[in-house]
A and B are shown apart, each in its own frame.
Chain A
Amino acid sequence: AQSVTQLGSHVSVSEGALVLLRCNYSSSVPPYLFWYVQYPNQGLQLLLKYTSAATLVKGINGFEAEFKKSETSFHLTKPSAHMSDAAEYFCAVSEDGNKLVFGAGTILRVKS
């Protein structure tokens, strides 16, 4: 069965600092992996996806994630946080590219 663990329900960084949001997954087959972002009162917006091409995936708004099979990880990073990055971030896994299994989410706070 698939599962996703996001370490840290809340992460706080200073503006300009590195953002690192952690995601570990469990899957019985090579997975499809996604990061979604949810701004207040909005839906889930796709940040980036991994579908077995390059292991380093670049997404929107300067975010990227690296697929590490040996660590079963898909951590999300951004070199320099911006105030507008404050939101909740969800990692998700899919074995068939259809049904998504989500992590619990990480709320990112950016301090000025």
Chain B
Amino acid sequence: EPEVTQTPSHQVTQMGQEVILRCVPISNHLYFYWYRQILGQKVEFLVSFYNNEISEKSEIFDDQFSVERPDGSNFTLKIRSTKLEDSAMYFCASSDRTPIGSPLHFGNGTRLTVT
């Protein structure tokens, strides 16, 4: 069964550094998402992406965050200048949304630690 893959599985970075989290969504999916889970807290929506543009974003997704689909397969989340509070597990997801209500398929996540 096709799956969403994320790299790296763990990323440690220093505060103020830029990080790029990478995801390869399922190949025929058109809708892409990033969620995050801070340790001990709920899984939170960050951003959704369709047709090469952001379709919705949460309050968390401020100017420090950006997403990109640089080619036909990758979907990336960039954090421009990391803060301690960005430490979390970041999940990428994709969906074909056909029919509406089709589930999101999640990757195994990237654990980001900001020191």
Binding site for B on A (CB under 8 A): 32, 34, 36, 41-46, 49, 51-52, 90, 92, 94, 96-105
> Shortest beta-carbon distance, A75 to chain B, in Å?
19
Tell which of B41, B91, B93, B101 touches A32, judged by Cβ atoms closer than 8 Å.
Answer: B101
Interface residue count on the B side (C-beta < 8 Å): 28
Closest to B3 in A: A43
Contacting residues of chain B (26-45) with chain A, CB-CB under 8 angstroms: 31, 33, 35, 41-45
Tell which of A32, A43, A92, A96 touches B109, judged by Cβ atoms closer than 8 Å.
Answer: A43
A43 in contact with B107 (CB, 8 Å) = yes
B4 in contact with A100 (CB, 8 Å) = no
A-B contact pairs, 9 of them (CB 8 A): A36-B106, A43-B108, A44-B106, A46-B104, A98-B95, A100-B43, A100-B45, A102-B44, A105-B43
B45 in contact with A42 (CB, 8 Å) = no
B48 in contact with A102 (CB, 8 Å) = no
